[in-house]
Chains A and B, each alone.
Chain A
Amino acid sequence: GESVGLHLPTLSVQEGDNSIINCAYSNSASDYFIWYKQESGKGPQFIIDIRSNMDKRQGQRVTVLLNKTVKHLSLQIAATQPGDSAVYFCAENTNTNAGKSTFGDGTTLTVKP
């Protein structure tokens, strides 16, 4: 079945460095992608989203890149801070099943001071 997966389960970076978290998806019909941040014991928090008609979207300190050719999604965090330490999930949606997000496995980001 369709799945969304992440290449690396953990990522450790130094404070101030840039972080890149990757995600591969398999459903070519997916047209909306979301990155979430989840801190321990809390629900996922929306970070940034991108639709399939775009290949890049920027937010505050975050950038999402979408490569539909290879079904790859990435989240870039600039100047990573200790408060960015969390588990990051990518999720995909299709227009025909709006709201039914399929979540990837998650990458644990640890920021070392």
Chain B
Amino acid sequence: GAVVSQHPSRVICKSGTSVKIECRSLDFQATTMFWYRQFPKQSLMLMATSNEGSKATYEQGVEKDKFLINHASLTLSTLTVTSAHPEDSSFYICSASSSRASSYGYTFGSGTRLTVV
């Protein structure tokens, strides 16, 4: 089955620094990846859609200059949280799909717990 690997699983950083989160599709090529954010006891909120070889599409209210997304290959998308602040502390989750897949179904990574201190 489709496997999405996300790294790191946990990260603690100091306020003002940047953190990069990786999302890899291990056994399929992901033409599109999605980045979500989830606060405690809340649902997943879509942040942006990452398309291989093109600019990401951000949801309303998400700062594109703060959350940098790069999808340079069919198996890797990265989310960089720049100048992180405590309010950016959250659970970040990616998902991937492929236009080459025979059906829908979006595989999620295991998530990254970001804590900004």
A: residues with CB less than 8 A from B are 32, 34, 36, 41-46, 49, 89, 93, 98-106
**Nearest neighbor of B31 in chain A, beta-carbon distance:** A99
**Cβ-defined contact, B110 with A99, below 8 A:** no
Contacts of A32 in B (CB 8 A): 104
Contact of A100 among B6, B46, B108, B109 (CB under 8 A): B46
Alpha-carbon gap, A36 to B44, bound state (A) = 11
Q: How far is the CB of A40 from chain B (nearest CB, A)?
A: 10
**B34 lies within 8 A of chain A by Cβ:** yes
Find out whether the CB atom of B111 lies under 8 angstroms from the CB atom of A42.
yes
Given A44-B44, A46-B107, 9 more A-B residue pairs with CB atoms under 8 Å apart are: A32-B104, A34-B105, A42-B110, A43-B6, A46-B106, A49-B104, A100-B34, A106-B42, A106-B43
Q: Which residues of B contact A105 (CB under 8 A)?
A: 42-43
Chain B residues with CB under 8 A of A99: 32, 34, 49, 95, 97, 106
A39-B53 Cα distance, complex, nearest whole Å: 33
Q: Which 10 A-B pairs have the closest CB atoms?
A: A43-B108, A103-B43, A103-B44, A43-B111, A44-B108, A99-B97, A43-B93, A43-B110, A105-B43, A43-B109
Q: Of all chain B residues, which has the CB nearest A89?
A: B43
> Chain A contacts of B93 at CB under 8 A?
43-44
Q: Which residues of A contact B106 (CB under 8 A)?
A: 34, 46, 99, 101
